[in-house]
Amino acid sequence: MTNPHMYSDSLAVHDLGGNGPTILYAHATGFHARCWQPVADRLADHHNIAYDARGHGDTPSEPESTVDWETHGADAAAVAASLQHDGPVLGVGHSMGGAALLMAAIAEPQLFRGLIVYEPIVMPPDLVPGASASNFLAVGARKRRSSFASFEEAIVNYGAKPPLDVFDPECMQAYVRGGFALGADGRVHLKCRPEHEARTYEAGGNHRTWERLSELLLPVWVLCGLPEPIQPSSRTAALAEQIPGAQYIELDHLGHFGPMQAPRELAAIISSFPDP
Distance in angstroms (rounded) separating the CA atoms of residues 95 and 263? 15
> Does 216 reside within a domain?
yes
> Does 252 reside within a domain?
yes
> Does 93 reside within a domain?
yes
> Does 101 reside within a domain?
yes
Q: For 58-106, write each residue's pLDDT tens digit.
A: 999 876 667 889 999 999 999 999 999 999 999 999 999 999 999 999 9
Question: Could you tell me the CATH number of the domain that includes residue 110?
Answer: 3.40.50.1820
Residues spanned by the domain of 48 = 5-143+195-271
Number of domains in the chain: 1
Over pLDDT 90: what percentage of the chain? Answer: 85
Distance in angstroms (rounded) separating the CA atoms of residues 12 and 122? 24
On the question of pLDDT at 132 being above 50, the answer is no
> Does 151 reside within a domain?
no
- The whole-number average pLDDT for the span 251-267 is 98
> Does 276 reside within a domain?
no
- The whole-number average pLDDT for the span 193-216 is 92
> Does 181 reside within a domain?
no
> Does 117 reside within a domain?
yes
The pLDDT of residue 2 is 44
- The whole-number average pLDDT for the span 41-47 is 98
On the question of pLDDT at 6 being above 60, the answer is no
| E strands present in the chain | 5-7, 11-17, 22-26, 47-51, 89-94, 112-118, 147-148, 180-182, 188-190, 220-224, 247-250
Q: pLDDT averaged over the chain?
A: 93
Distance in angstroms (rounded) separating the CA atoms of residues 7 and 151? 28
